[in-house]
Amino acid sequence: MIEKVKILKTEILSDNWYTLKKITYEYSKKDGNVQTQSREAYDRGNGATILLYNKEQKTVILTRQFRLPSFINGNSTGMLIEACAGLLDKDNPEDCIKRETEEETGYKITDVRKIFEAYMSPGSVTEILYFFIAEYSKAMKVHEGGGIEHEQENIEVLELPIQNAMEMIDTGDIKDGKTIMLLQYIKLHSLL
């Protein structure tokens, strides 16, 4: 069997916030020809995301926060409505999402269900994202949420009827890929 990929050289282009590398490699095509290619890959670590839902109220918990990349790519306010998410920071995905849920939304959850994992932008970003869902109730609210000050988070917590959230996909008010995937999962599996 022909080896498909052989890394020839790795250069670090930036190591400021996360790591941007330029990788030169050989790639063996189906026909046996070998090409030398060079690509950049951004490594920000892996992450986890969750959609909290309430069956009785038919509601979901989402967040709204400023996202600079969306602002510089045409989002006039830079604000995005999203499912709660965060980087693993050396935790396992389940511990990470429980911590992030409490920090961002103020809900302390214990029972989460992993539904799948996905590469969100595999053409340039190494991150794999672990997707979770969990039921929530008012009794699980332990504080207001909003994120952590030293991480410069300024997160607004939103509780929305599922129907409104689904309509916000159609109107373009929700444009975040992970959030759209989670909302569609909830609807496809008739959880709300």
Instruction: Tell me the mean pLDDT per 10 residues along the chain, length 192.
Output: 82 94 93 92 96 97 96 96 95 96 96 97 96 97 82 86 98 97 97 89
- DSSP per-residue string spanning 91-107: S-HHHHHHHHHHHHH-B
> Comparing C-alpha atoms, which of 50, 81, 47, 83 is closest to residue 66?
81
The pLDDT assigned to 90 comes to: 87
Segment (H or E) for 184: helix 177-188
- Taking alpha carbons only, the member of 4, 6, 51 closest to residue 24 is 6
Q: Domain ranges in the chain? A: 5-43, 47-188
- Note whether 27 and 4 are within 8 A (CB): yes
Partners of 125 in the β-ladder: 42
Q: What is the pLDDT of residue 1?
A: 46
User: What is the model's pLDDT at position 3?
Assistant: 65
DSSP code for 138? G
H helices present in the chain, as ranges: 68-72, 93-105, 162-171, 177-188
Q: Give me the pLDDT at residue 151, please.
A: 65
CATH superfamily name and code, 47-188: Nucleoside Triphosphate Pyrophosphohydrolase (3.90.79.10)
pLDDT recorded at residue 141? 96
Supply the pLDDT for residue 85. Answer: 97
The CA distance from 135 to 58, in Å, is: 11
